[in-house]
Amino acid sequence: MDYKAEQEMELEALEAILMEDFSELVDDVPEGWSSSSPCYRILINPTEEAANEDYKLELVFSHTPAYPDEAPLYKARSIRGLGSADLADVSVRLAEQVEANIGMAMVYALVAAAQDWLREKAAAGQEVPVDPAAARKAADDAEERRLAEIRSHGTMVTPQTFAEWKQRFDAETALQRSRLQGSEAAGDKKDKGPTGKHFFRQMEATAAEKGIEEQEEGDIDDEEEYEENGEMANGDLDGDEDEDGDDDFLDEYLADKAGE
């Protein structure tokens, strides 16, 4: 491979694409780089509106003798808004691109990776700090809207919600059955024996009934005694009549015998 030709072709392509953002670096060459190889710088912005950006960096690079079969010299430097931690972070992103593109012209891939990182950094910096109280209120409002929506359409039945309902229903049914059995048991216990007041009322009623029965039995006995006495009297009368009949029969018999 003609490395020199490959490098020149890449420089021409970068100049045509990046135009004024691409230039040769004359001064401020990074320490330790060879002065025999030319260095270049590329200005990188998150977007095309460079004047309004909070973050900006530059990528400086130099081709090594065997590039692109070996990594170029490169370094990210801050122009606006970036600290050492930011530069270390973007350098990791660039190293990944170098490793993935060994054997090919890779400088433009490094520019694209650095620009993506800047966009992410700018987007994160534009996030407005959130007031905890306001965030909590917004979350509560969102939850209330969600519950209102559920109430307006009813609760969706799922196997889990049905199982929970069934468990509560069985528990409530068992509790009601237990209370009912307890009430019936208490009622049976009360029916087994009368209260003191009820007992005395029963005794009074029994005594009254017994008095009436004894009176009725007494009346019946008197009537029976009366009937028996009457029969006895009638019997005596019949007996007297029988005796008188016998006497008359005897007199007639004796008279007949005397006539003979």
Q: Are residues 110 and 7 in the same domain?
A: yes
Low-confidence ranges of the chain (pLDDT < 50): 128, 226, 231, 233, 237
Would 251 be classed as within a structural domain?
yes
Picking from 125, 150, 167, the residue at the C-terminal end of a domain is 125
Would 192 be classed as within a structural domain?
no
Per-residue confidence (pLDDT) for residue 2, from 0 to 100: 92
Per-residue confidence (pLDDT) for residue 210, from 0 to 100: 62
Structure tokens at 236: 């005596």
Q: Are residues 113 and 14 in the same domain?
A: yes
Per-residue confidence (pLDDT) for residue 188, from 0 to 100: 60
Would 156 be classed as within a structural domain?
no
| Number of domains observed in the structure of the chain | 2
Per-residue confidence (pLDDT) for residue 128, from 0 to 100: 46
Picking from 125, 141, 163, the residue at the C-terminal end of a domain is 125
Q: Are residues 8 and 114 in the same domain?
A: yes
Would 45 be classed as within a structural domain?
yes
Would 149 be classed as within a structural domain?
no
Domain that holds residue 40: 3-125
Per-residue confidence (pLDDT) for residue 204, from 0 to 100: 64
Would 215 be classed as within a structural domain?
yes
Per-residue confidence (pLDDT) for residue 78, from 0 to 100: 92
Alpha carbons 77 and 58: distance in angstroms, whole number: 5
Would 243 be classed as within a structural domain?
yes
What is the CATH number for 115? 3.10.110.10
Quick one: CA dihedral 67, 69, 70, 71, positive or negative?
positive
Per-residue confidence (pLDDT) for residue 114, from 0 to 100: 94
Picking from 86, 106, 125, the residue at the C-terminal end of a domain is 125
- Could you list the beta-strand ranges (E) of the chain: 22-25, 39-44, 56-62, 73-80
